[in-house]
Amino acid sequence: MRGGGRDPLSKLGVQLPEGLLRQALTHSSYANETGEGEANERLEFLGDAVLDLALADILYQRYPDRDEGELSKIRAVVVSRPVLAQAARRLGLGKHLRLGKGEEGTGGRERPSILAAALEALLGAVFLTYGYPRARELVENLLGDEIERYAAERSQDYKSLLQQLGQRRFGTLPAYSLVEQQGPEHEKVFTVEVELGGNQAVGRGRSKKEAEQAAAKRLYLRLEEEDTGWKG
């Protein structure tokens, strides 16, 4: 079988123009071998950029308390080849691919690099057909569970960690105080200071809770770095 058939995105309520769908599912080995149509590499290029933007958008909105470094690490995992290939398998994408005989004979339908590239190409095709909002929605549908899982794995409650450190090292608890709040009601920025054992740190956020977490993280990491060998 050389691929084809039903639109793999139809189960998600997405219908693509036939020509664009065919291109998204056409591997370069097929195009080179048959001379039929254009391979999906240009669509993959576009889809890769759309995927990066959509994930940055989703992560920024979902996790307002995470800093740039943490968000980047979550995104890097979610856009990795194994994760994208697994999402492609859930769509049954392999059976729809148009592959050359060589790729077909060496298991190309299950090769992670080919599956991930085809998924990005489909995302590029969705973007061209429907625009960014629908493409973002598709990313959330396809990768939402992975986003949640990897974000949870990276989650750290620094207020709890700092509290444990304070009890262990100083025999006391951290104290938080609101330093200031700035901006209009719908865009307030809070600044909070935390003090523990004569050490202070300041954090900022869009809520007091977020600012406290930021301050706790800063002080916790500083104290751990200063004396990682401390024994209580």
Known catalytic residue at 52: no
Contacts for 155-164: CB closer than 8 Å, 24+ residues apart: 156/217, 157/213, 158/213, 158/216, 158/217, 158/220, 159/212, 159/213, 159/216, 161/216, 161/220, 162/194, 162/196, 162/216, 162/219, 162/220
- Residues comprising the chain, all counted: 232
Query: Which of 93, 74, 64, 85 lies closest to 190 in space, CA to CA?
Result: 64
Catalytic, 48? Answer yes
Annotated catalytic residue, options 44, 103, 104, 120: 120
CB 176 within 8 A of CB 194: yes
Q: From the candidates 44, 48, 104, 210, which is the catalytic residue?
A: 48
Do the Cβ atoms of 102 and 90 come closer than 8 Å? no
Q: How far apart are CA 120 and CA 122, in angstroms?
A: 5
- Active centre residues (catalytic): 48, 120
